[in-house]
Structure 1
């Protein structure tokens, strides 16, 4: 067992003390500090080309990744393991009056003694084996563990038959510009140094799956995450003549009723099931108050996948949208008939039928009808939208669909289904390749070796259940699945783009061995020090040794 607790605790506090909220200058500050720390180590003083402060590419923010490598001297192997973790955090506004202490664990824990706390948090605070603060769990203690191992092997390269690469990436909490930029450096190093990437170990946080769950989880592979989005058009009318039009908000409400928490849309694979979709935004697109009903509405949902592809998800959601549209029209007609009966006004048959298009289908139709004129107009429109910095990728996509809709000859109510944000690909780790099998075996052996040192069960599962940068280390989707993303994202190639070939070029099996704790992204974020500072680095180290040992 490595005697690493105090060193990793010190690194954790150093990192946490730097407020590195995503999309702020703090991301640059922490990267510069970490670069300086690594550069000061003797190995990197002697080998300055082995550590880089690398600016992200195609990013409207100035921020950096820190990447470093140690070449082992135990043998001549080029097998290389990537240790990865993100250095950005979510914001600290939730700390309210304790905001000034959020990034200073010792001060925060002292201040929390005067707060009303839930029983478990109070017990953890008093126990002496939990550390509180923004980023201690998600995920600076994980980065600190990786940093310790980098330092250890820089001092003991004779124990390493192969190489390790440290990737400390920015922007995990938003757009993953960090890891996507880092792929290019990994490819460059692969070419320059002959690195043969055989595994990646992420160190993101893990938590109990349910109340009373005592297991500490390690994950093989990761959940995928999509943001299916719906642009919904209605038939405008004055509110005084409500039944002469169709409110798109009414359809949107029915759509959310159909999709939200719908377990038919939970994806089971290898005995593990994703949580069902839930809405993240629902709004109409009226710019201001009028007494006309809205022309259009916009709604999008979080959608996790284990084995479905983005193409599968479009097919399933198109079916659900048709059901919702039918239900909306049925309810509308019932209420219209009831109103006609009680008001004495005549009932007029409703003229609308449910219509659902994917963005790819609508765009194909409009290109066929209008040719180059439509294509040129939409390209110019997207370029003009890019100048509006207040538009994120999701609203940018909605505005593109809204503009394209204006070209539709038949403007009767419809639902347009598309993707409006980053796709974080799912990764299945099943042992189907030699590298996967070796990583699974190395992990199992490591857990078996370290488990006696820790009282709670250390359990492996198949899919890391949260969004993480693990997603960009390999692809389980085929070409059709990926094309469903690019062809159905209206901002693709302008506001949003991912070079999936970079992922294929690295394509390394990945596991998550990370700190354990509770309340990530919340005021009482905390990590258990015994597991996070002692067990995590030792399991990670065992995996490294198992993978790089002579067979």
Structure 2
């Protein structure tokens, strides 16, 4: 590499400048991080001359006034391709660092502290002993990737390469991807105004270990999708002295949690990659005081990851789970009725989607019903709730309107929604990207002796999910019906995603233990190999 941050020491120093900023997601420090990136880019001579090539893309309606940072180097105005060097600059919190939280963002001090610890796993101990690893929050996920991309941008500028590069670094990736959701519309407009035929995403998220002890390095040609189904149980109240006279909502939801947790129903496989099974993320009832009435409303949200399943398919499968749980509970109740000589039985447990009950509400109550839902949304947001809180509150309100139908399950979707994306070998340009990934693997092994494995899906969720979308109309129809906060606090730029259609390849550093106190970066791969891989990929694509 040439230009600013071209040496190993300069690249490491750049990373340390980035990690020093405590840019925990959902805090004002993300603003400080954006300003730091702007300052560092301003040290490149090109951007000193062309200050208007560095942009702030604000996050919409943001409490902290956070913004994306973008920088454009237009090395070949006649080329119909541009490459987006995509990263995020937020990090997760540091509660897991315990007594060492005060040095979590000082990678030198924290690495020295780790070298003195004895209560670590053998794998961590071996990495500490090697002296090849840098520890600290954000060093792996993903400020090392950002540092590499800034150095690659500076290298292209210094060498006056005939290539169009767009550095884009976002806040909030670790929470709702609000930065990327705002940036997508900007990118779509840029593609149109510059008349680019292709905008190619080059993300530099680190290689994630696929299993404990995994030492492989990966190139990812896509990213896993995610949905957050919400299942609500609307029970029939009763006194604890007469438990069979009602149906306990907490029991109802526990049955669904038991069936959904690590369920094989959502199994998907791509080559040797298996989508992680679903897991419960939030579980509660809404009974806040003690009394001897059984809970009437309980809910759970589930993390469901996808490769090819659509939003409608996931929703349909979750609804089927609820239906089967209801049938099992009805059978169990029938046995209890017989054992305890109960003659007055509860009705069977039904299952509805939010969209179904909303349609019923509009038909029966008209605008009054819609006004009440809007009032609920405003109140929850004003009290500091997020889109998931609003989804739960709206589901509760709709359930209350139809309490005479109890007991029943209500199934809906809460934000965020991440589409699964991957390169499509049947599409000519994306097939070309896949071909070049294969050539890069060969080159890296020949030049550095490093075996790089290609995977279809990045497993850790990423902003690249919003770069493109397939069958956007179908997705839009499902979400408009079944995601209560879509365009009600949660803005998903589906039209811009459809216009952008940005295929993405992930070429990044190697690290371990993202989101853990042992988060660490392999320094030799970071300084010597990953930047060269990214440069090689861009150069080869530019030649063809």
What TM-score does the superposition give when structure 1 sets the normalisation length?
0.94
Matched, 1:436 2:438: no
The answer to whether structure 1 residue 103 and structure 2 residue 98 are counterparts is no
The equivalent residue for 1:445 is 439
1:22 corresponds in structure 2 to 25
- The reply to whether residue 83 of structure 1 matches residue 105 of structure 2 is no
For 1:266 and 1:61, locate their aligned partners in 2 and report how far apart those are by CA, in whole Å.
39
8 Å contact from structure 1 (residues 383, 494) kept in 2:
no
Question: What are the equivalent positions in structure 2 for 1:25-104 lying under 5 Å apart?
Answer: 25-73=28-76, 76-104=78-106
Say which is worse superposed, 265-274 or 250-259, in terms of deviation: 265-274
Whether the aligned pair in 1 keeps the contact of 2:191 and 2:199 (CA below 8 Å) is no
Distance (whole Å) between structure 2 residues aligned to residue 422 and residue 4 of structure 1: 40
Q: What is the match of residue 211 of structure 1? A: 212
**In 2, Cα distance between equivalents of 1:534 and 1:333:** 68
Any stretches of 5+ residues in structure 1 without a counterpart? 341-345
Asked whether the equivalents of residues 467 and 502 of structure 2 are also in contact (C-alpha less than 8 Å), the reply is yes
Q: Distance in 1 between matches of 2:68 and 2:493?
A: 18
CA gap 1:21/1:409 in 2 versus in 1, 3 angstroms: closer
Which 10-residue stretch deviates more, 380-389 or 467-476? 380-389
2:476 alignment partner in structure 1: 482
TM-score by length of 2: 0.95
8 Å contact 1:18–1:26 — kept in the other structure? yes
SS in 1 for 2:304: strand
Correspondence 1:283 to 2:284 = yes
Deviation at 1:301, TM superposition (A): 0.3
- 2: distance between equivalents of 1:531 and 1:476? 35
Q: Would you say the 8 A contact 2:337–2:345 is kept in 1?
A: no
Q: Secondary structure at the match of 1:214?
A: coil
Q: Against the structure 1 CA distance between its residues 4 and 461, is the aligned structure 2 distance closer, same or farther, given a 3 Å change threshold?
A: farther
For residues 379 and 389 of structure 2, what CA distance do their matches in structure 1 show?
14
Which of the numbers 527, 534, 548 marks the counterpart of 2:528? 534
Measure, in 2, the Cα distance between the counterparts of 1:487 and 1:65.
31
Instruction: Return 500-509 or 427-436, whichever deviates more.
Output: 427-436
Summarize deviations over 1:321-364 as a string: whole Å, max 9, x none. Answer: 111111223233334544x2xxxxx3225322121111111111
- Go from structure 1 to structure 2 and tell me whether the alpha carbon gap of 1:87 and 1:508 turns closer, same or farther (over 3 Å shift): same
Question: Does residue 424 in structure 1 map to residue 426 in structure 2?
Answer: no
Offset at residue 231 of structure 1 (A): 1.3
Q: Distance in 1 between matches of 2:533 and 2:71?
A: 21
1:156 aligns with 2:159: yes
Aligned to 1:299: 300
Q: How many residues align?
A: 540
Cα offset, 1:76, TM superposition: 3.1
On the 8 A contact 1:214/1:457 being kept in 2, the answer is no
Aligned to 1:377: 372
1:401 equivalenced with 2:395 (yes/no):
yes
Matches within 5 A, 1:207-246: 207-246=208-247
- For 2:431 and 2:534, locate their aligned partners in 1 and report how far apart those are by CA, in whole Å: 17
Aligned to 1:362: 357
Partner of 1:491: 485
1:246-261 equivalent positions in 2, closer than 5 A: 246-261=247-262
Task: Tell me if the contact between 2:171 and 2:178 (Cα under 8 Å) persists in the aligned partners.
Answer: yes
Structure 2: tracts of 5 or more residues without a match: none
CA separation in 2, counterparts of 1:213 and 1:404? 47
Matched, 1:513 2:514: no
* Secondary structure of 2:199 counterpart: strand
Contact 1:199 1:435 in 2 (8 A): no
In the alignment, the residues of structure 1 paired with residue 298 and residue 426 of structure 2 have an alpha-carbon distance, to the nearest angstrom, of 44
Report the secondary structure of 1:168's partner residue.
strand
Shift, 1:4, TM fit? 4.6
Distance in 1 (alpha carbons) for counterparts of 2:518 and 2:272: 32
Correspondence for 1:189? 190
Residue 464 of structure 1 corresponds to which residue in structure 2? 458
Contact residue 352 and residue 413 of structure 1 kept, 8 A: yes
Deviation at 1:456, TM superposition (A): 4.1
1:343 aligns with: none
Q: Is the partner of 1:198 in helix, strand or coil?
A: strand
Within 2, Cα distance between the matches of 1:226 and 1:129?
37
For residues 177-217 of structure 1, give each alpha carbon's deviation from its aligned partner in whole angstroms, at most 9, with x where no partner exists.
Answer: 11111123223333444444431011112222123433211
Shift of the alpha carbon at 1:219? Answer: 0.8
Work out the CA distance in 1 between the residues paired with 2:415 and 2:289. Answer: 26
Once the two structures are overlaid, the 10-residue window that deviates more, 474-483 or 291-300, is 474-483
Secondary structure at the aligned position of 1:65 is classed as: strand
When the two chains are superposed, the root-mean-square deviation of aligned CA atoms in Å is: 1.8
Q: How far does the alpha carbon of each residue in 1:227-278 deviate from its partner, in whole angstroms, 9 at most, with x for none?
A: 0001110011111222211111101111011111111212234553211111
